[in-house]
Amino acid sequence: MLKGIPKILSPELLKVLAEMGHSDRLVISDGNFPAESMGKDAIVIRCDGHGVPELLDAILQVFPLDTYVEHPVNLMEVMPGDDVETPIWDIYKEIIRKYDDRGDAVVGNIERFAFYEEAKKVYAIIATGESALYANIMLQKGVVTD
């Protein structure tokens, strides 16, 4: 046990977050995301009993977002023709505002299939049991300054 570390961050996940360097990326995926096939060249960490918001909140307590790119956070765009609401994105933005002074400006969107291509290049994928649709989020690590 450690003090000051959110309990949801397992030793395996903490190790991966610490190993990541500036500009490395990770995906926190929903339960429908093909984490194992997308993560063939990445570290895949299973967090099936958890949702994306609780993991995002815990990760951003220890993980700086990149300040050298416009959108260090990216969401998977809803496909044209899909009649899907994404209220979870508002929850993500609320969490991000707690940890980054740039607020919603750090959040971008990536077309679904482009998101998959980018996901194949990330350092790690955290596979959750999140049931919300289009709940995948990609984070780019910044520099620790303090």
Contact (Cβ atoms closer than 8 angstroms) between residue 102 and residue 136: no
Domain boundaries of the chain, sorted by first residue? 46-146
Which pLDDT score, from 0 to 100, does residue 1 have? 74
Which entry of 50, 71, 99, 116 is annotated as an active-site residue? 116
pLDDT exceeds cutoff 80 at 54: yes
Domain 46-146 has CATH 3.40.1650.10: yes
**Considering 30, 66, 100, 134, which one is annotated as catalytic?**
66
Q: What is the pLDDT of residue 98?
A: 97
Could you tell me the pTM of the whole model?
Answer: 0.96
Find the mean pLDDT for residues 98-120.
97
Dist CA 95 CA 137 (whole Å) = 13
Mean residue pLDDT across the chain: 96
- Confidence class for position 146, pLDDT limits 50, 70, 90: confident
Residue 116 falls in the annotated catalytic set: yes
* Contact present, 69 and 140 (Cβ < 8 Å): yes
Distance CA 96, CA 99 (A): 5
